[in-house]
Chains A and B, each alone.
Chain A
Amino acid sequence: MGLKEKYHEYQRPILGMASVIGLILLWEFTLTYLIPVDPFFFTKPSLIGTAFREQLSGERLWHDLAISSRAFIWGFSLSVIVGIPLGAVMGWRRRVEYTLDPLLTALYASPLVALAPLLIIFFGVGLLGKAVLVFLLAVFPFIFNTSAGVKSADPLLINVVRSFGGKELDLYLKVILPGTFPYIVAGTRLAIGRGLVGIIVGEFYAASEGIGFAIQNYGDTYRLPDMFVGIIVLSAIAVALTELLRKAELMVAPWRAGEEIR
């Protein structure tokens, strides 16, 4: 009986694991025994596994990851540095919001990736072009989430601080910043997704190194197992970052956990 209760407790992870393992086995089995695999168009888990081992011990994968993450970190830091103050001012000053909101909303809603060819030609195929692209995509979640966070500051709390003789600075540090923090964390998660799009498109478009380039290059040379390794590594990083931030969101604002839309 104890076993059955244990199963109920961990039903979700058990079923999830089972389905992943099942799919891998089915994939391997089908391509080994039922349909002979055409290595130019498809591959199977055992081949991906071999390629994975080789790449982990090689240097190329680590080099590509380092190149991509450097561009990502530059662009992302810049979007934090620009986005959060801009969002804070927009949330705090009504006229600034009126002025900037239509323009920024339009830019947020439009596929700025379409500018990628121009940016790459203008800033080059190296670090700068990719960093600018990441910045352009990742800055908007910071702006809009910070602004929403500042706007959500409870007027009652603001009045309390004011009537007890608190200075402007107290207001910022004690009411607005703590209230805005959960919004910024939520914005960070969105920004990471968009920033990754920037890196990938930038490297697909024109690059000679980086994880996006590796994926495309393996695709062009029909090395499917290696390509899948790239995709899996990228997915793993994306999932790790996203889940980490989701946990952080739960920590800083447990009450908002239910209302999110991905």
Chain B
Amino acid sequence: MTGLASFYREKEAYLLGIGFVVFLLAIWECVPLLITLPRGYALFFTTPSRIAVTFYRLLVEGKIQEHFYVSVAAFLSGLGIAIAVGLPFGIIMGRSRTLDALSDPYVTALNATPRLVWLPLFILWFGIGIWSKVMIVFVGAVFPLLINTYAGVKNVDRVLVNVVRSFGANEWQVMKVVVLPNSLPYIIVGLRLAIGRAILGVVVGEFFGSSKGLGFMIASAASNYKVDVVFTGVAIFMGLSLILTLSVKKLENSLARWRPETTKTF
């Protein structure tokens, strides 16, 4: 008895959190048993068990894999280009006041506007193949990376830079010894935000101009009222973003233990 009570006290946070999710899923599962839904609503309704069965069926048929690879390819190439562009530009903007001032209007405007507004244009330019998706992922992911890298570089301790300089370091050495290590925690935060934006880009990009990919699977299933397939796709996207963001978050915490807890942002 006391063993159980102390076990509960120790794990209360996990038990309550997981318990609540399980509870909600159980209620959801039981809805059709408790009330008979009118025919119109039954069409839109599904239960967790049916979603699980659909997931398994699609997995065995290989449908999920086929769409999954397309989405992952767009995600990885878009994010890769965003990293390759965002980091150097962030560093340059942080180090040069002139370039910072010159590019500031564009960065502010593009960062404030949801980058998805460019989707119709990208579809027009790059067609409905993978490239319009890569581009929309890229413009979504590049700004969090760029801005956070910039903030990290800007936040460098002047004294440290001056110390390294007065020992005769050139710009490259200043970068390697002081600037980059200092910016790393910021870059990781940027990466976490960028992953969220990139997944958003993949989903929405595939909703519209696309004939393959998980987003396409969701959109076409929705227009055929296959609600369980929609939820399967949504669940895959949820799982992916959770795994990716939480692992980056772990990295973030281990890199910056000394940082005060801030509000959650995704």
Judge: A and B partners, yes or no.
Answer: yes
Contact of B264 with A by CB under 8 A: yes
Contact of B105 with A by CB under 8 A: yes
Q: Which of A12, A108, A231, A262 contacts B117 (CB 8 A)?
A: A231
Q: Is the CB of B238 within 8 A of A110?
A: yes
Q: Is the CB of A95 within 8 A of B238?
A: no
Contact flags B110-134 to A (C-beta < 8 A → 1, else 0):
1111101111110111000000000
Contact of A47 with B by CB under 8 A: no
CB of B54, distance to nearest CB on chain A (Å): 14
A106 and B241 CA atoms in complex are apart in Å by: 9
Q: Is the CB of B114 within 8 A of A110?
A: no
Nearest to A40 among chain B residues (CB) is B124
Kindly list chain B residues whose C-beta atoms are within 8 Å of the C-beta of A101.
13, 17
CB of A41, distance to nearest CB on chain B (Å): 7
Q: Is the CB of B230 within 8 A of A118?
A: yes
Given contacts A16-B102, A227-B121, contact A121 B222 (CB under 8 A): yes
CB of A91, distance to nearest CB on chain B (Å): 11
CB of B12, distance to nearest CB on chain A (Å): 6
Contact of B101 with A by CB under 8 A: yes
A174 and B110 CA atoms in complex are apart in Å by: 39
CB of B226, distance to nearest CB on chain A (Å): 10
CB of A237, distance to nearest CB on chain B (Å): 9
Q: Is the CB of B265 within 8 A of A215?
A: no
Kindly list chain B residues whose C-beta atoms are within 8 Å of the C-beta of A220.
120
A20 and B98 CA atoms in complex are apart in Å by: 14
Contact flags A88-119 to B (C-beta < 8 A → 1, else 0):
00000001001111110110111101111110
Contact of A193 with B by CB under 8 A: yes
Given contacts A41-B124, A197-B200, contact A121 B225 (CB under 8 A): yes
A156 and B84 CA atoms in complex are apart in Å by: 48
Kindly list chain B residues whose C-beta atoms are within 8 Å of the C-beta of A113.
200, 203-204
A101 and B118 CA atoms in complex are apart in Å by: 34
Contact of A25 with B by CB under 8 A: no
Residue with the greatest number of chain A CB neighbours at <10 A, chosen from B18, B120, B186:
B120
Q: Is the CB of A227 within 8 A of B242?
A: no
CB of A107, distance to nearest CB on chain B (Å): 8
Nearest to B155 among chain A residues (CB) is A258
Q: Is the CB of B12 within 8 A of A98?
A: yes
Q: How many residues of B contact A (CB 8 A)?
A: 70
CB of B113, distance to nearest CB on chain A (Å): 4
CB of B257, distance to nearest CB on chain A (Å): 17
Q: Is the CB of A16 within 8 A of B263?
A: no
Q: Is the CB of B215 within 8 A of A109?
A: no
Q: Is the CB of B223 within 8 A of A238?
A: no
Contact of A190 with B by CB under 8 A: yes
Q: Identify which of residues 215-262 in chain A touch chain B, using a CB-to-CB cut-off of 8 Å.
A: 215-216, 218-220, 222, 224, 227, 230-231, 234-235, 238-239, 241-243, 259, 261-262
A19 and B93 CA atoms in complex are apart in Å by: 14
Kindly list chain B residues whose C-beta atoms are within 8 Å of the C-beta of A111.
196, 199-200, 203, 237-238, 241
Contact of B207 with A by CB under 8 A: yes
Kindly list chain A residues whose C-beta atoms are within 8 Å of the C-beta of B117.
200, 212, 215, 230-231, 234-235
Nearest to B154 among chain A residues (CB) is A258
Given contacts A102-B18, A103-B17, contact A15 B112 (CB under 8 A): no
Please give the residue numbers on chain A whose beta carbons come within 8 Å of chain B beta carbons, in ascending order.
11-12, 14-20, 41, 95, 98-103, 105-106, 108-111, 113-118, 120-122, 140-141, 144-145, 148, 183, 186-187, 190, 193, 196-197, 200-201, 204-205, 212, 215-216, 218-220, 222, 224, 227, 230-231, 234-235, 238-239, 241-243, 259, 261-262
Give me 20 A-to-B residue pairs in the complex whose CB atoms sit less than 8 angstroms apart, sorted by A's number.
A11-B97, A19-B101, A41-B125, A99-B16, A106-B238, A114-B203, A116-B207, A117-B222, A118-B44, A118-B230, A197-B200, A200-B116, A201-B204, A201-B207, A205-B207, A224-B124, A238-B112, A238-B114, A261-B148, A261-B186
Inter-chain pairs besides A19-B103, A102-B21, A262-B148, 10 sampled, C-beta below 8 Å = A95-B16, A99-B17, A105-B264, A117-B222, A118-B44, A121-B223, A193-B114, A196-B114, A201-B116, A235-B110
